[in-house]
Structure 1
């Protein structure tokens, strides 16, 4: 589901803005409910339509157009912690099609959700309405240049945001900027080698990192093994 490249623009989605060219719908079961997510096309179809000029310096591939297993596990965890999240300020990193932000809003969290791609946040807003949940604040934002209040979020989460080492330092700086005292960060990530070094880096930067669970996620005919980490400031 999730976008993994930052951009340099910060803008909230206008009220009533409709998604462009919706052509397909994805059904995702999380917590006993089927969540509906509209999108323009899958990532591979969008990728094939892109030219070299569309990638830019940040290699902006359309990861936002997919639903990722890490986000499904995060959605489960959000539902398990519904009472804790209700009424709390939460930040959704790389919201993509909006699955985790929608689930959190459904349980009563006060959600700010951002992505680096404008079509992602437009579809996310559409998908919140499709699932009949209160709208989070959807916004276009670069995680290297956070345009949110310092220490303003009790809970922060992201699904599959650590797939390149160049993201480690910017995300650690973001965590330090946005997390409220006593706050928690939840990171869902598929089991892969590239993100292993980040947890020692996180600990050296004064955070604690605990592996909460490892679960299988069935999605699109495949079973992925996904880690869920909780990060706090020591």
Structure 2
């Protein structure tokens, strides 16, 4: 039995089609968690945010891309986007969804938060959706950002409020980032809650004063 389904998603004036998992309790070909294969509300909010975000001339990294909707939106807009995840099926789903929408391939990197990837380089904009899920995710994510953020980088994370964003915010401030929290909302037939938009930016002057 096929464990996937096709979704149609409107982002701005564009329509995207996605191959997703039809059952979160099943993930064919791997015993790893299947959360990557669902279109979470946070990803939809991030996609809408990227649809109107100023990205011209920026090198962009999406972390925990899953099905890749925000990356697809950015690719549609001509952005220099690299998607990343660590689930063994994420790259295949991203490639399928990119082709499904008639676009050229999106650069992909298998990035493990705990293991540095020096070849990935630095990015002007780092984005992610629903990536703060467990108690130590904030500290691990901040270290990933430190490795891959350009000196004047901006970070945009959509967070459904799982209660673990405070350590991330503190770690980002220690690295020289100033941030704020916006509260866009999205209605979904299965999930109806407010998504928080965490935005951080730093300048070379703030980096010089940051805690190593």
TM-score > 0.5, shorter chain as reference: yes
Any stretches of 5+ residues in structure 2 without a counterpart? 207-212
With a CA cutoff of 8 Å and minimum separation of 6, indicate the structure with the bigger relative contact order: 1
Q: In 1, Cα distance between the equivalents of 2:17 and 2:116? A: 29
Q: Determine if contact 1:190/1:226 at 8 Å carries over to the other structure.
A: yes
Tell me, in whole angstroms, the C-alpha distance in 1 between the residues paired with 2:110 and 2:3.
Answer: 19
Partner SS for 1:145? coil
- SS at 2:75 equivalent: helix
Whether the 8 Å CA contact 2:85–2:109 is kept in 1: the answer is: yes
Match for 2:98 among 112, 120, 128?
128
Q: Is the CA contact (8 Å cut-off) linking 1:106 and 1:134 kept in structure 2?
A: no
CA separation of 1:67 and 1:61: change in aligned 2, threshold 3 A: same
**Partner SS for 2:26:** helix
RMSD: 2.3
TM-score computed with the length of structure 2 as normaliser: 0.85
How far 1:35 sits from its partner (Å)?
Answer: 1.4
Which consecutive residues of structure 1, in runs of 5 or more, have no partner in the other structure?
Answer: 1-20, 55-59
Report the CA distance between 1:150 and its aligned residue. Answer: 6.8
Task: Extract structure 1 runs of 4+ deviating beyond 6 A.
Answer: none
- SS of 1:71's partner is helix
Count of aligned pairs: 202
- Does structure 1 residue 70 correspond to structure 2 residue 42? yes
Task: Name the CA distance, whole Å, in 1 between partners of 2:89 and 2:76.
Answer: 22
2:188 to 219, 226, 229: 219
Query: Once the two structures are superposed, what CA deviation does each residue of 1:71-105 show, in whole Å capped at 9, x if it has no partner?
Result: 11111111111xx2134211010110111111111
**Which piece of structure 1 moves more, 126-135 or 145-154?**
145-154
Tell me the residue number matched to 2:117: 147
